[in-house]
Amino acid sequence: MAYSEKVMDHFANPRNVGELPDANGIGEVGNSRCGDIMKMYIKVENNIIVDVSFKTFGCGAAIATSSMATELIKGKSVDDALKLTNKAVMEALDGLPPVKVHCSVLAEQAIKAALSDYYRRQGIDPEPIVGKIEEHDEHGEDSCH
């Protein structure tokens, strides 16, 4: 697989991996049938993402993009995190092979899913703010990538 050194670094030494016990926003996207599930945990205090972690079942790019995405939003405001795009994640990793672009989309979606969960827990409807995201669908068929 023609991965950049940065991708391999984040794959071999993923940052912020594992569960976050005191998370106040958890989002999960992807589907096991397709071979990829990303789960993001965020802890928000005063509108700042003070801590973040992830768990990923998926390819090397999926693990590396999750890791990079957590680094990019850690310490940022919720508003900044909402603006994170898959493109930014890819650029930070010095690019991805074309067949792996969807893995970075998954990382963007996972963060949005965690933020939605955070808003919901605050009693705020996330849809006008975060937009619609494809929720985790265990039985989804023919919808991979």
Partner 1 sequence: MKKIYADNAATTRLSKEALDAMMPYLTDYYGNPSSLYSLGVKSRQAVENARNIIAECLNADPKEIFFLSGGSEADNWAIKGAAHLSAKKGKKHIITSKFEHHAVLHTLDSLKKEGFEVTYLDVHENGIIRPEELENAIREDTALVTIMFANNEIGTIQPVKEIGEICKKHKVIFHTDAVQAVGAIPVDVKEIGCDLLSISAHKFHGPKGVGAIFMRKGLRLPNLIDGGAQESGRRAGTENIAGVVGMSVALKHSCEVMAERNARLEKMRDRLIDGLLKIDRSIINGDRVHRLPGNVNMCFHGLEGESLLLSLDLKGVSASSGSACTSGSLDPSHVLLAIGLPHEVAHGSLRLSFSDENTEEDIDYLLEIIPPIVTRLRSMSPLWEKIIKNS
Stretch that binds partner 1, among 5-13, 75-83, 84-92, 116-124 (CB under 8 A): 5-13
- Alpha carbon distances (Å) from 117 to 6, 9, 60, 95, 107: 30, 30, 26, 29, 15
Handedness of CA 22, 28, 33, 34 (dihedral sign): negative
Residues 39 to 68: which contact partner 1 by CB under 8 A?
Answer: 39, 54-60, 62-63
Count of residues of this chain found to bind ligand FES when the rule CB under 6 A is applied: 8
Encoded one letter per residue, x for contact with partner 1 by CB under 8 A and - for no contact, window 14-33 reads x--xx---------x---xx
- Show the binding pattern over residues 84-103: x = contacts ligand FES (CB under 6 A), - = does not: ----------------x--x
Residues that bind ligand FES (CB under 6 A): 35-36, 58-59, 61-62, 100, 103
